[in-house]
Structure formats: C-alpha cells, structure tokens
Amino acid sequence: MIINCKKIANEIISETKPKVDELHKNGIVPCIAIVMAGNDYASKIYIHNKSKACQKAGIRTREIIFRENISEYELMKSIEKLNNDKSVTGILVQLPLPKHMDEKKVCEIISPAKDVDVFNPINFGNFIIGNTDLTPCTAYGIMKVLKYEQIKISEKHCVVVGRSNIVGKPISHLLLKSDATVTVCHSKTHNLENFCKNADVIVSATGVPKLIKKNMVKNGAVVIDVGINRDENGKLCGDVDFENVEPLCSYITPVPKGIGLVTVAALVHNAMKTACFNLFKNK
Ligand code: NDP
C-alpha cells in the first residue's frame, strides 16, 4: 500500500488549527519568521510551501530573504533581532545557507524558545531526554505516519539508514522510545543489504538515489523513504528504488508527495508549540 502522506499532513494541520485558534483567543498571534539567504530555487519553493501550510492553520509567516553575499555576522545579527522581537513566536532558517557560512553556528543562535526546527543543541538535548514538547519535524512526521496507518513498532526490528542530526538520529531515538529494536546504518556500514533484509521497518535518509533495492527488502516490510534526490535524468526520486521495491512492501511512502509533506505539517505543529511558550510567559 502506498501511504497517502497528503491526507496525514492535512490531519496534522487540522489537529493544530484549533490550538492556534485558542492562542488567538488568548491574545497570542503565532508568527514564524522564515529566514533565507541566496537565490536557491528549491529553497524558495520549500519556504513557499511552509508559509502556505502555516497560514492554513492560522499561523502568520514573515519571509526574510537576504542576498547571497550577506555576511555571517549580518545574518546572525538579524536572527538576534528576531529573537528579541515579541511579535515573532518562531524562527526557521532555511538550509542550505551560502557556502561561506557555518550553518551550525547560525542555527545555534536561534533562541531555544523560538526554534521550530529543533536545531538548537539545548532543544535537541531536551528532546533526547524527553524534556520538551518540540520534536524534530521529519521524525515527528514519520511517527505520525506510522501511527495513522496503525503500524506496530513495539518489538519490531527497525533499520534506519542515515545518522544525521536532522533525520537519522531523531527518528532512531523515537523508534527506540516506541520499544523497537533499532539498527542504525551509515556510509561505513558493511553489508547494508543484510541489515535491511532483516528489517520489519526501513527508514532511509541518505540522499543517495535508489540506494534501497529490491534484494534488500523482505516481503511485507514497511519502507519509509525520506530522501529527496534527483535521478540520472534529473527526475525527483527518493532513496528507494520505488518501482521495484513497492510490490514487496506492506506499506511504502512515495517521493515526491511523501515524507516531505508530513515534515512541513510537523513544522506547523512546532510553530504552534513555540507560540504556546508565550502563553506561559504571560501568566
Ligand atoms: P546528511 O547528508 O546529513 O546525512 C546522510 C546520512 O546518510 C549520513 O549519515 C551518511 O552516512 C548516510 N549515507 C550516505 N551514503 C550512504 C550509503 N551509501 N549507505 C548508507 N548510508 C549512507 O543528509 P540528511 O539526513 O539531511 O538528509 C538525507 C536525505 O533526506 C536527503 O535526500 C535530504 O534531501 C532528505 N531530507 C528530506 C526531508 C523530508 O522532509 N522528506 C527532510 C530532511 C532531509 P555518514 O554519517 O557515514 O556520512
């Protein structure tokens, strides 16, 4: 079964909207600032989609697009200004940033209370020890997909391919928290095929087009494809050789219109959450 991620994304947004309405009633107007530097076409599409999704839930957005050659200092100064701006309840820095900038350093300056992407190390640490309401967006979206489809995770063997701070690590953590046995693979893993072949659930987030082939997937497995890549013809594709793997799966997510949609919806959820922090501040 090909999972309908659009439906699940809409459901996340519908669940979020009444909570945003409640904030409005309490005099809090959720507003996220989306900061970008440069002219990257894909990034512009992403920020447009993120704005649209937030607006659907009643969250305002402010797109701030700087020129490619803005200095790291200037960009960080503008983020600091947003940190102190009471009308901004969340901040998102669209990656990638221009090459002359240190992305880690820039993202770390976002106030933890406004960090809708959960990039700040304080928030990431709190996420790992279960001490925050904020969950990294893609991991949140994947867990929603598994829950919506009533896919049992407890006692299952989940193989996560990729160990980035943005996707691989957070989703491994949430699967483990849901009582799965989790194997994390990466570029130095020998015999990736053997690990994947034994998986009840595969989550792939590598950025390698069509890495997961049919000989690596057991019959009836669940396959979650996070990758957003271009194939040899420039066509959008995931990490999974979809055409050949799909017939083997009990569930699979497509690319495009897959995990990307629920990731954006998760961002809307987090934008509502950071706005809620203001609710407690005012009391
Ligand atoms: P990173 O480049 O930060 O991490 C990639 C990970 O994949 C690394 O851990 C790397 O291993 C591993 N890897 C690379 N090649 C192989 C290989 N041949 N075999 C096994 N593991 C490998 O990427 P991200 O996590 O940021 O993103 C991964 C993909 O997901 C990209 O296509 C990105 O566009 C997409 N993405 C999609 C999102 C969505 O909403 N759908 C959100 C975020 C990302 P090592 O650590 O050893 O280098």
pLDDT at position 281 is 65
pLDDT at position 242 is 97
145 and 106, same structural domain?
no
249 and 159, same structural domain?
yes
Distance CA 262, CA 142 (A): 7
- CATH classification at residue 206: 3.40.50.720
pLDDT at position 270 is 98
Count of structural domains within the chain = 2
Distance CA 49, CA 39 (A): 16
Q: Rounded to the nearest 5 degrees, what angle is found at the Cα of 143, between the Cα atoms of 281 and 115? A: 30
Question: Which residues are within 8 A (CB) of 236 and not within 5 positions of it... i.e. 6 or more apart?
Answer: 228, 229, 230, 255, 256
**Residue 202 within a domain:** yes
pLDDT at position 42 is 87
pLDDT at position 41 is 87
Residue type, 124: F
pTM: 0.96
d(CA 206, ligand 1 centre) in Å: 3
**Residue 22 within a domain:** no
Q: Is 150 among the catalytic positions?
A: no
Residues with CB under 6 A from ligand 1: 138, 161-164, 166-168, 185-189, 192, 205-208, 211, 226-229, 259-260, 263
Does the structure show a pLDDT above 80 at 278?
no
**Residue 170 within a domain:** yes
Containing structural domain, residue 205: 137-260
Strand-pair partners of 64: 35
Q: Whose CA is nearest to atom 47 of ligand 1?
A: 187
Mean pLDDT (whole number) for 70-99: 97
**Residue 178 within a domain:** yes
d(CA 205, ligand 1 centre) in Å: 4
Q: Is 55 among the catalytic positions?
A: no
Q: Whose CA is nearest to atom 34 of ligand 1?
A: 228
Give the pLDDT band (50/70/90) at residue 282.
low
43 and 156, same structural domain?
no
Mean pLDDT (whole number) for 79-90: 97
Q: Which atom of ligand 1 is nearest to the CA of 207?
A: 32
101 and 164, same structural domain?
no
Q: What's the pLDDT tens digit per position in 13-35?
A: 999 999 999 999 999 999 999 99
Q: Is 117 among the catalytic positions?
A: yes
Does the structure show a pLDDT above 60 at 222?
yes
Of residues 114, 115, 117, 210, which has the active-site annotation? 117
Q: Whose CA is nearest to atom 30 of ligand 1?
A: 227
- CATH classification at residue 93: 3.40.50.10860
246 and 151, same structural domain?
yes
Distance CA 200, CA 248 (A): 12
Does the structure show a pLDDT above 80 at 283?
no
Distance CA 51, CA 47 (A): 6
pLDDT at position 12 is 98
pLDDT at position 235 is 93
Percent of the chain with pLDDT over 90: 95
234 and 161, same structural domain?
yes
241 and 141, same structural domain?
yes
Q: What's the pLDDT tens digit per position in 98-136?
A: 999 999 999 999 999 999 999 999 999 999 999 988 999
| Mean confidence (pLDDT) of the chain | 96
102 and 51, same structural domain?
yes
Does the structure show a pLDDT above 70 at 230?
yes
191 and 98, same structural domain?
no
Bond before 96 cis per omega within 30 degrees: yes
**Residue 283 within a domain:** no
Q: What's the pLDDT tens digit per position in 150-202?
A: 999 999 999 999 999 999 999 999 999 999 999 999 999 999 999 999 999 99
42 and 141, same structural domain?
no
Q: Whose CA is nearest to atom 6 of ligand 1?
A: 162
Strands 157-161 and 181-185, by their bridges, are parallel
**Residue 104 within a domain:** yes
Distance CA 231, CA 170 (A): 27
Dihedral pair phi/psi, residue 238, rounded to 5°: -100, -160
